[in-house]
Structure 1
Amino acid sequence: MTWNPDAVGIDQAPHGWATLVRFWLRAIPFGIVCFGSLGILLILRQPERWIYGMRRPVTPYLTQFVCRMFFAISGLRLRVTGRPMTDHGAIVSNHASWTDIFALHAAKRVFFVSKAEVRGWFGIGWLARATGTIFINRVRGEAKRQQQYLSERLALGHKLLFFPEGTSTDAMRVLPFKTTLFAAFFEADLHRNLKIQPVTVIYRAPPDKAPTFYGWWGDMSFGWHLVQVLGASPQGAVEVIYHPPVKVADYPDRKALARACERIVRDGMPAERQISG
């Protein structure tokens, strides 16, 4: 049976006072760093656009700084294994939580490709727009136009990061990769030299917590989960594994490429998590 995130029960019990205190002790300084840096980014973005157009060679460094500060302030340990590629191409990763954004951006300057609904999320949508996230409508009639836009961004040398599962999980599995967005990698001007780097993100819960502690799925409240993560003591860890890149030209079509990347990402998970949806 296919794993259905909306069918999994979630116990969102009220947080204790100690968790709430730790949350505020971390949320306030991170908020200052985050929104202070966002102000600087918005100031820099206009001259950057005048000089470089869509290339954005400067502001991604500021976004990466904020993401690294998230780990310094929260206490969540980040480990990076493997080597992020420097070649022209894109990155595909499994998706367990909103914290994936910080983990993947802290390790490598990237531009995320996200579902269009995120644009309207309170706080998150504003930050995503400011940092150059590409929003995709999962509507068949717009697929060709969106593939063309993704191809243009790839041609600029941007490292685009996709979550091909299409949703986040409980951090215990990798769902089947959707293949639609992989079509952008097969544009005639790109596929001969383009590489895709599969990445596995593994969360390890704090001691005495459920292994799904960092997973964010279904109808779980973002606010409740934010308090849980920032209020945890001790914290757990997240590992980002960069696998060797694969060449798009080695695969006949988007479906074969998607299956290969999915297999690599799943094989990077611990043995007990190497299950599909």
Structure 2
Amino acid sequence: MTVWVGEAPPPDPQIGARGWLRVLWRGAALGSVTFGCLGVLLLVRLVERPIFGWKRPITPFITQFVCRMAFIILGIAYRVEGTQMRQRGAVVANHASWLDIFTLNARKRIYFVSKAEVANWPGIGWLARATGTVFIKRNPKEARAQTELFGARLKAGHKLLFFPEGTSTDGLRVLPFKTTLFAAFFTEDLRDIMHVQPVGIVYAAPCGQDARFYGWWGDMGFGRHLLKVLAAHPQGTVKVIYHAPLKVSDYPDRKALAKACEDAVRASFT
């Protein structure tokens, strides 16, 4: 995966005594809620999986609860514009930070599409597998199998979410959308029933901080960025903008659909 480098990130704010206290209590609270609910989710999934298979009528609500609680714990204001689509289909969004996972799951029952390497990341990999993430390998030989997997999940009513930029940014821009994954929507049995909803994620930095405060890009370390967010006071805002769903059959090919989605997401920043 190509990593967006952009300009050098701003220096991390100094964390004072009160900041470290916020790191401790917020970190403990977030960890307790996240991994405590993960245990509950895994227990429920033991019953849910043999009965419902791909369908998950219960566990996504546990994921939503965790993500909503994350914003309460962190103190980040959460705003929503637009309406979630009810049609069968997928969701695409711009990618600014690891916070996007909480941002998008807090409001909508979705399943992320992620690179295969994430499955092996400590902590994050466990969470991703437990919540039904679809892992893909960027290998042309795997394309057909992955398309079939997408089809099975979409037919089960899952709304798959992926980041077509292919990398995270500083949160102030939208990179050109890569078109590869859009091809899965143009198969004969999906094209006429599929919609894609573009979603914009717009972060506003805490008062007095660099506008790129919540962006996570280049070679920025996860640990240092997490500490910065946990310590922040006051916090900023995240706004999720749901744009009108696009019917796949209205577009001649994946490139046209990807461009339409990109234009819609880009409009979130105007």
Q: Which residue of 1 aligns with 2:5?
A: 6
Q: Using a 3 Å threshold, how does the CA distance of structure 1 residues 92 and 7 change in structure 2: closer, same or farther? A: closer
Deviation, structure 1 residue 12: 5.2
In the alignment, which residue of structure 1 is the partner of 2:24?
24
Tell me, yes or no, if the aligned pair for 1:63 and 1:105 is still in contact at 8 Å. yes
Distance 2:99 2:86 in 1: 24
1:139-150 correspondence to structure 2 within 5 Å: 139-150=139-150
8 Å contact from structure 2 (residues 15, 231) kept in 1: no
Task: Note the alpha carbon deviations across 1:51-79, whole angstroms, 9 max, x for none.
Answer: 10111111000000000000111100110
Q: CA deviation at 1:118?
A: 1.4
Flag structure 2 segments of 5+ consecutive residues without an equivalent.
none
Question: Could you tell me whether the CA contact under 8 Å between 1:12 and 1:224 is conserved in 2?
Answer: no
Shift of 1:8: 3.1
What letter is aligned with 1:10? P
**Distance (whole Å) between structure 1 residues aligned to residue 55 and residue 95 of structure 2:** 26
Q: Which amino acid aligns with 2:104?
A: L
For residues 253 and 148 of structure 1, what CA distance do their matches in structure 2 show? 18
- Separation in 2, partners of 1:229, 1:205: 10
User: Residues 106-145 of structure 1, C-alpha deviation per residue, up to 9 Å, x if partnerless?
Assistant: 0101101111121122211111111111111111221121
Q: How does 1:105-254 map to 2 (within 5 A)?
A: 105-254=105-254
Name the aligned partner's letter for residue 210 of structure 2.
A
Alpha-carbon distance in 1 for matches of 2:236, 2:13: 21
Name the SS of the counterpart of 1:73 in structure 2: helix
Q: Which moved more, 1:210-219 or 1:122-131?
A: 122-131
2:15 partner amino acid? G
Does the alignment pair 1:264 with 2:235? no
Distance in 2, matches of 1:119 and 1:143, equals 19
Deviation of 1:11 after TM superposition, in Å, equals 4.7
2:187 aligned partner, one-letter code: E
The 1:71–1:148 alpha-carbon spacing in structure 2 relative to 1, beyond 3 Å, is same
Q: Deviation per CA, 1:217-261: give whole Å up to 9, x if none.
A: 011000100111111100000000000101000001111100110
TM-align CA RMSD: 1.5
Residue in 1 that maps onto 2:73: 73
Aligned length: 268
Structure 1 residues 254-274: Cα deviation after superposition (integer angstroms, max 9, x where no partner) = 11100110011001213xxxx
- Normalising by structure 1, what TM-score? 0.93
Q: What secondary structure sits across from 1:107 in the alignment? A: coil
Kindly indicate whether residue 53 of structure 2 is the aligned counterpart of residue 36 of structure 1: no
Equivalent residues of 1:147, 1:184 under 8 A apart: yes
* TM-score (norm: length of structure 2): 0.96
Sequence identity (%): 57
1:100 correspondence with 2:100: yes
Distance (Å, rounded) in 2 between the aligned partners of 1:266 and 1:41: 35
The residue aligned with 1:52 is 52
Q: Secondary structure at the match of 2:196?
A: strand
Looking at structure 1, the residues matched to 170 and 202 of structure 2 have their Cα atoms a distance apart, in angstroms, of 11
